[in-house]
Amino acid sequence: MRIKRIIGFIIVAVIGGLIWWKKDSIKQRLGFSSAANAVNKRIKGNNVSPAPSPSPIVQTAAINYVSCNAFPFKKGCKGESIKHIQKALNRLHNAGISEDGYFGPQTEMALINNGYCEEIRVSEYMKLGLSLV
């Protein structure tokens, strides 16, 4: 009986310690962080509705694409190798990017979102399995 109480106490102490250690992260995920509270108080105090979020469309400068025949392939490259990379991303990871042969922001984000580097080196090329294509 005493051993069960000791084990129970240890379990409660460990769980409590983890919660205390991660309290800021937990507050933020639940929306109880001090930054969120400050915004809510300011909005409620002024009877003002919150400002709309900015548009997700980001305008960037035009990219000058150049034919790249050697590694690393990065944003701004174009060519058949880039088209193969895009096809592999769509086939292996369902990236949903256009297979146009231009390494632009969509291709870069698809690589990053699927655990690759933002530029394609030989090792990344091998991970995509393109050496067999």
Put simply, whether the predicted model's pTM sits higher than 0.85 gets the answer: no
Minimal CA–CA distance to 133: which of 75, 76, 92? 92
Task: Tell the CATH topology of 66-132.
Answer: Muramoyl-pentapeptide Carboxypeptidase; domain 1 (1.10.101)
Contacts of 89 (CB under 8 A, 6+ apart): 95, 97, 107, 110, 111, 114, 128
**CB of 112 closer than 8 Å to CB of 120:** no
The whole-chain average pLDDT of the chain stands at 75
**CB of 89 closer than 8 Å to CB of 97:** yes
Minimal CA–CA distance to 75: which of 45, 50, 110? 110
Tens-digit pLDDT profile for residues 23-44:
777 777 777 765 545 445 544 5
